[in-house]
Amino acid sequence: MPIHQKDFPIFLALMQNPIGNDAEITEIANKILSSSQPTKQFSLTTIHRRIKKMEEQQFLQGVAAYVDYNLLGLEQHIFIIEIEAIDWENNITIMEKYCDLHPYTYFRDRIFGAVDGLICYFTIPDNEKAEILVLKGLNKFKDKKIISKYKHYKMDFRKYYPGSLEKYKLQTGSWEINFDSISEIMKKKSNNFQFPIVKKENILEKLSIYDLAIIREMTRNARRSQNDILEELFNGESVIGQEYIKYVGDFPESKQSFSRRLKFLNDRQIFTEYRLHFDLEDFGMFNHILYIFDFESNKLNNLIEIIENGTLPFPCGISASNEKIVVWINLPPNTFTKLTNIILNNFKNVQIFIFGYNLTRYLPWHENLDIKKHEWKSSEEWMISNPMESLNLD
């Protein structure tokens, strides 16, 4: 259902502050509204009611907190998996189930294009053993002729960009975008991209099962009241709650303890950003595209510039290493060819994929943490044997 015109300033305010309270959203929305209708203002009651209605209509689908996994001693690995052509549908279903069962899967989706198969993000313990075990697990599927090959990219930089949705023209259902400007910015000389310095604070020593429960719930939907999250966690049947009692003892003091632990996580910048989930197709973004190309330092800076300044206004994510850049982006169909030509003209060894509308994102799993040792589990049994046995392939 397309967004109502009078809700658009409220939606833009939520894009700016996804976890803002009603008063904060009212202030931002009124500033946006004043640029086009100076005499009109939203009341606090109207804001609350309109947000509730957008949630009930499933136009607003929650807010995901994004986690700095480096602070948790985890690192991101991307795999492009080519599925064996013989019995392709059965083979890819097996690999999807494997991702469902693997303890460190972060994201998966089908892809079509340069390779017909699967893209998988694994967020694994930051040690050589864990990386070897992920590769060993995938090689077992090669041996069984379920996958033919895969590409592996270890990422050192990852960032989500929400886009500049104020560039969307509600009356015409079109986007304000200047591809000539994008081309000019991409051609210019700029400074080399600087990878962020990875923070190495040993946060695991200070984490409890309760903290992981909060991280999981904030990742699932951060735009909920503390009471709603607490009810989800400790309703008497929660696995997280049972684990907490097992390792620590009694439940913490509900709301006060939650606020204290959430402040602890925020103070250590565990949550890097908050992403508002909404129906992309309501804004004409029907194409979900993946680009992979060689790393070029100054070109990456140019690409980030056109995204951050709104010249390229669509929601997207960038992951990068000193070898490859991975970009996923949501596009209206009539922009795909022009943007792809710009990418091809500015980067080398470009691969292009279309996502298959079967996206699955996984929440952090508390059982991955050995709470007594304060370290992530990375045994062969945990990372290979258990998920393989559950598939019953032998």
CA 43/CA 267 separation, integer angstroms: 32
CA 130/CA 125 separation, integer angstroms: 6
Q: Indicate the pTM of the whole model.
A: 0.91
Assigned token pair, 68: 């700095």
Cα→Cα distances 15→28, 50, 148, 172, 175, Å: 10, 15, 41, 21, 17
Domain-embedded: residue 68: no
Domain-embedded: residue 77: no
Are residues 191 and 291 both part of a single domain? yes
Are residues 164 and 259 both part of a single domain? no
**β-sheet bridge partners, residue 352:** 291
Note down the domain range covering 169.
158-196+283-355
Residue 299 near residue 249 (C-beta atoms within 8 A): no
Are residues 325 and 208 both part of a single domain? no
pLDDT at 205: 83
Domain-embedded: residue 133: no
Are residues 238 and 260 both part of a single domain? yes
CATH of the domain at 308: 3.30.70
Are residues 323 and 222 both part of a single domain? no
Are residues 218 and 183 both part of a single domain? no
Domain-embedded: residue 149: no
Number of domains the chain contains = 3
Buried b (16+ CB within 10 A) or exposed e, 308-328: eeebbbbbbbbbbbeebbbbb
pLDDT at 274: 93
Are residues 190 and 333 both part of a single domain? yes
Are residues 212 and 180 both part of a single domain? no
Cα→Cα distances 236→49, 244, 251, 252, 253, Å: 32, 12, 11, 14, 15
Q: pLDDT tens digits, the chain, 394 residues: what are they?
A: 678 888 999 999 999 999 999 999 999 999 999 887 877 899 999 999 999 999 998 889 999 999 998 889 999 999 999 999 999 999 999 999 999 999 999 999 999 999 999 999 999 999 999 999 999 999 999 999 999 999 999 999 999 999 999 999 988 999 999 999 999 999 999 888 998 876 666 688 888 777 888 898 899 899 988 888 877 776 656 666 666 566 555 555 556 778 888 899 999 899 988 999 998 989 999 999 999 999 999 999 999 999 999 999 999 999 999 999 999 999 999 999 999 999 999 999 999 999 987 788 888 888 898 888 889 999 999 999 999 999 987 5
Domain-embedded: residue 319: yes
Domain-embedded: residue 70: no
Are residues 231 and 168 both part of a single domain? no
Are residues 170 and 37 both part of a single domain? no
Domain-embedded: residue 73: no
Query: What is the separation of C-alpha 69 from the centre of its chain, rounded to a whole number of angstroms?
Result: 12
Domain-embedded: residue 47: yes
Are residues 22 and 169 both part of a single domain? no
Q: Which run of H or of E encompasses 182?
A: helix 179-187
Domain boundary at 22, 41, 57, which?
57
pLDDT at 312: 96
Are residues 262 and 310 both part of a single domain? no
CA 263/CA 268 separation, integer angstroms: 9
Domain boundary at 237, 267, 297, which?
267
